[in-house]
Amino acid sequence: MQLISSRAIAFLDSQSLAPRQAREALFRTTGGRFVLYLADGDPSSANEERLVFLELREALIWLNEPSEQRGSFWT
């Protein structure tokens, strides 16, 4: 698996209003598929992590997202 790109997204937690940072990383597998790793940045042990399998088109969309749309794959 190869890391293509990663980024941190700063946001305010809606419940505590504390500043946090989510993490996203795009990987390419040896089979040519793409995996997007999402971590919500919660410092507690109850943080949320996800893996999303992407097609090439979706991976390109993620790579080229403008900064104001970053984090769109969380929904």
From first to last of its 75 residues, the chain has per-residue pLDDT tens of: 899 998 888 776 767 777 777 888 999 998 889 999 988 766 665 667 888 899 999 999 888 887 766 655 555
Domain residue limits at 6: 2-74
pLDDT at residue number 9:
80
CA dihedral angle for residue 46, residue 19, residue 5, residue 39, rounded to 10 degrees: 10
**What CATH number is associated with residue 45?**
3.10.450
Residue 7 burial (CB count, 10 A): 16
pLDDT value of position 7:
87
What global pTM score does this model have? 0.73
**Number of domains, the chain:** 1
